[in-house]
Structure 1
């Protein structure tokens, strides 16, 4: 028989302590976000549809993005046992410098359209966390302003080769003069991909008012207040705007980009030169023979060629072929710290987050970016401890099994 008795007040008192209410609604939202997907949901609620879909969407049927994320889901970890992981070291060396974590912020275009703090929020959050920040050619904050905001952190610059080569050359020289230590020479954008969400939404730069945008803005007045009461958007490279993002890219980008352009940029930039957008082993080997410092395996977040190769699938073979000759990094589809750990285990020296950072930015500005980094850092550390690996150098291919969902048919 269970013995029962009337509870005494002194027994109940410890159970009646309520959590102190936080009157800061933004902080409450961000504290409640435990995953990047949580930040994604907040961002969707707080951002007008056209701006959110520009960030969230990809090209055509969005198969490349879906498959990239599925590739990270389709892994099996193989943990060790009885290792001391009371402390884990998440720091690494990448492109000649240190990062406190094995990920940095990827270049993103038109960032102040998502949330008015834009690249400044990203750069300052990255600097505070001790990780690199990458400014896009199509960023909405100047090279010099990013350097001023993050004077002691690592700033990288992503370069598009424009039809007007002098624009690209001038940007390269400005980045070098400002002390940006790494340049990403981007090779996967001879023309813009077909980003159908933007076309369906009538999304343009700058945003154009229509009945649809007005109705969509009604439950999101804070976004329009920020947009209309802060300085006009300024682009790092484009002197004029008007049209969809795809139309702007097609006007600016040059499909005749070649290895000769790579050579010229190498001569102009004093820091590390990394080629972003590599999508096969043969190109990786050729770039290694040319002496570039690194490559980024990337399909541009699925925003260019739909059904493009999945970077995470390419990673092991590329590392086997060129990993001794250059530093291999990876982006596209990373939504969890476990994705980052798996990439490092399979040979990547570093990873880059794009949408994950922007979801945090849209969810809460600088504080939201801080929360993104905090969530991913916690996931990285926990995954390493559960794998019983005390530092990044000890992560090896044996710790990860890539499961097969898409298997090529025999020819």
Structure 2
């Protein structure tokens, strides 16, 4: 097998991972909702944005440093939450956290992780760590997870708001996907059911999560969450200006413009195409805007920042890196994205993240933002 050095872009890692992972885990990681129109659309959206490079500028120095939630970060992208990572590699979530730690970026841990939040925190003590959360039917489960995350040093809570139920993912249904028995949903051990086994009727993930998630969740529950923690709350899964404004109204420190990896409902717009309008309407607020979904190159990261994202999160690229080489594989993926972002900045005539604005991109006319 070729070394990691022979993999020079995220696509190389994706193709290598497809040959490493068994069918059920591979389908779980790569699939989207329905017939995957939105999954493809999230990627294609980045191709619809063209760069507008400026020339004859002094680009001898290039700085990727940004500020997120009041703290400096050496690069404006991080690792998004992804469930069940030990299916991809024995190191699982720890490898991703340590890779982010090494590059100084932000790592977001999924509630549905195969490594406990305490073990991840101990393995990557200096990493900037956020904890992705659901509000469960049993509020005491949520309360315990919030308390544990705060005690373990996680900086923020990333509340997923687009999953009152899980979407229909045909690949998982066909596979009757179950979490392999050697793994468990580690954060729930000793609290509630921690296995994820299909009944044989469909996806074990959907069955498991359906037993826990609260479909009656509403905006009033944001106030409840704020009442039990002092951690900043970021709402993940916003795709409309209306909901972005409601997030501000209910005190969110940030939002992630996201379609849940296009895994919830098909034929929704791509996060990138709704980003400009959301950013425009949140100007003057204290709510930061982040994005995930469809990102596979450093140039994609540049485009998202140019359209107003404060931070860009990548999920599948980190999983492909993990599958190909554990922590070393993730580090290489992050280094590749960082280098591609640097090159894009230099060749467009920008030398700092603050300088990356809409001036440097051309977007489709129907993306032009407007006030509500």
TM-score under structure 2 length normalisation: 0.93
Q: Following superposition of structure 1 onto structure 2, how do residues 152-167 of structure 1 map, counting pairs within 5 Å?
A: 152-167=126-141
Instruction: State which of 282, 286, 302 in structure 2 corresponds to 1:322.
Output: 282
1:395 is aligned to 356
1:3 is aligned to none
2:65 is aligned to 91
Work out whether residues 185 and 262 of structure 1, in 8 Å CA contact, stay in contact via their aligned partners in 2. Answer: no
Instruction: State which of 278, 292, 304 in structure 2 corresponds to 1:331.
Output: 292
Q: Following superposition of structure 1 onto structure 2, how do residues 133-144 of structure 1 map, counting pairs within 5 Å?
A: 133-144=107-118
**1:358 aligns to 2:319 (yes or no):** yes
Work out whether residues 74 and 404 of structure 1, in 8 Å CA contact, stay in contact via their aligned partners in 2. Answer: no
Q: For residues 63 and 236 of structure 1, what CA distance do their matches in structure 2 show?
A: 33
**1:272 aligns to 2:226 (yes or no):** no
Work out whether residues 323 and 347 of structure 1, in 8 Å CA contact, stay in contact via their aligned partners in 2. Answer: no
**1:42 aligns to 2:16 (yes or no):** yes
Instruction: State which of 369, 373, 382 in structure 1 corresponds to 2:330.
Output: 369
Work out whether residues 82 and 110 of structure 2, in 8 Å CA contact, stay in contact via their aligned partners in 1. Answer: yes
CA positional deviation for 1:276: 0.6
SS of the equivalent of 1:302 reads coil
Work out whether residues 184 and 194 of structure 2, in 8 Å CA contact, stay in contact via their aligned partners in 1. Answer: no
CA positional deviation for 1:29: 2.8
Q: For residues 42 and 263 of structure 1, what CA distance do their matches in structure 2 show?
A: 45
Moved more, 93-102 or 238-247: 238-247
Q: For residues 363 and 141 of structure 1, what CA distance do their matches in structure 2 show?
A: 19
Instruction: State which of 169, 184, 207 in structure 2 corresponds to 1:233.
Output: 184
SS of the equivalent of 2:81 reads coil
Listed one character per residue, the Cα deviations across residues 316-351 of structure 1 (whole Å, up to 9, x for unaligned) are 111110033110000011011111100111111001
**Residues 105/49 of structure 1: CA separation in 2 closer, same or farther (3 Å cut):** same
2:220 is aligned to 260
**1:145 aligns to 2:119 (yes or no):** yes
Listed one character per residue, the Cα deviations across residues 155-205 of structure 1 (whole Å, up to 9, x for unaligned) are 100001111111111101111111111110110000011111112223212
Moved more, 341-350 or 288-297: 288-297
SS of the equivalent of 1:301 reads coil
SS of the equivalent of 1:269 reads coil
Instruction: State which of 344, 349, 361 in structure 2 corresponds to 1:383.
Output: 344
Work out whether residues 254 and 290 of structure 2, in 8 Å CA contact, stay in contact via their aligned partners in 1. Answer: yes
How big is the alpha-carbon RMSD for the aligned residues of Structure 1 and Structure 2? 1.6
Q: For residues 226 and 29 of structure 2, what CA distance do their matches in structure 1 show?
A: 31
Give the paired residue count.
358
Q: For residues 85 and 19 of structure 2, what CA distance do their matches in structure 1 show?
A: 18
Listed one character per residue, the Cα deviations across residues 270-327 of structure 1 (whole Å, up to 9, x for unaligned) are 2221111011001111111222111000010000011122110011111110033110
**Which consecutive residues of structure 2, in runs of 5 or more, have no partner in the other structure?**
199-203
CA positional deviation for 1:367: 1.0
**Residues 29/323 of structure 1: CA separation in 2 closer, same or farther (3 Å cut):** farther
Q: For residues 32 and 350 of structure 1, what CA distance do their matches in structure 2 show?
A: 29
Work out whether residues 130 and 154 of structure 2, in 8 Å CA contact, stay in contact via their aligned partners in 1. Answer: yes
Instruction: State which of 99, 103, 123 in structure 2 corresponds to 1:125.
Output: 99
Moved more, 261-270 or 137-146: 261-270
Q: For residues 234 and 271 of structure 1, what CA distance do their matches in structure 2 show?
A: 23
CA positional deviation for 1:245: 1.1
Q: For residues 206 and 110 of structure 1, what CA distance do their matches in structure 2 show?
A: 10
**Residues 184/236 of structure 1: CA separation in 2 closer, same or farther (3 Å cut):** same
Work out whether residues 105 and 353 of structure 1, in 8 Å CA contact, stay in contact via their aligned partners in 2. Answer: yes
SS of the equivalent of 1:156 reads strand
Work out whether residues 195 and 246 of structure 1, in 8 Å CA contact, stay in contact via their aligned partners in 2. Answer: no
Moved more, 197-206 or 73-82: 197-206
1:251 is aligned to 211
Q: For residues 405 and 321 of structure 1, what CA distance do their matches in structure 2 show?
A: 16
Listed one character per residue, the Cα deviations across residues 63-115 of structure 1 (whole Å, up to 9, x for unaligned) are 11110100011111001111111121011111222221111100111111121
**1:302 aligns to 2:265 (yes or no):** no
CA positional deviation for 1:406: 10
Q: Following superposition of structure 1 onto structure 2, how do residues 62-101 of structure 1 map, counting pairs within 5 Å?
A: 62-101=36-75
Instruction: State which of 19, 25, 32 in structure 2 corresponds to 1:51.
Output: 25
